[in-house]
Amino acid sequence: MTVIEAKLATLGYQLTVAPEPIGNYLPATRSGNIMWMAGVGSRRADGSRITGKLGTELTVEEGYEAARWCALNLLARMKVELGDLDKVTRILKVVGMVNSAPDFGNQARVVDGASDLFVELYGDPGRHSRSAPGMGALPGGIAVIVDCVIEVAD
């Protein structure tokens, strides 16, 4: 078990099955030591999706948990692509899109679910720049989608 997977286990998580693309795109693209990870939705380990609008159907806490599942799904995809999560040397950028009611303004707190997990696992190299826009709708009514850019070891 790698260092990062051991930390995941300590936090009470295990890697999910990596989500497959649902369109005509690659799940990850790499150029040199930089890898762009395609967005993944809020899907639990059992495959069920967390759906609904933040601010009407879901609370900030439920959104935070949805974003955390997005990060776990990204980690699962990283493992498929790299073979080892310890090869991630830095999380560079995170974008969390939040399915939001028109008057919902806590997107940043929701996306903290993903950001906090990356920092818990990677420490200072897990700190990243970020965007957290609210969206009027997301595919299938999913609550949150997160993508990221990472730096990887040679």
CATH number for the domain spanning 112: value is: 3.30.1330.40
* pLDDT for the residue numbered 103: 97
Residue 22 covered by a domain: no
What letter would DSSP give residue 136? S
> What is the extent of the structural domain holding 124?
3-12+27-152
Q: pLDDT tens-digit profile of 78-118?
A: 999 999 999 999 999 999 999 999 999 999 999 999 999 99
Residue 8 covered by a domain: yes
Residue 115 covered by a domain: yes
Residue 18 covered by a domain: no
Residues of the chain with pLDDT under 70: 1
Number of domains in the chain: 1
Among residues 91, 95, 96, the alpha carbon closest in space to that of 128 is found at 91
Q: Indicate the helix (H) or strand (E) that contains 12.
A: none
Residue 80 covered by a domain: yes
Residue 20 covered by a domain: no
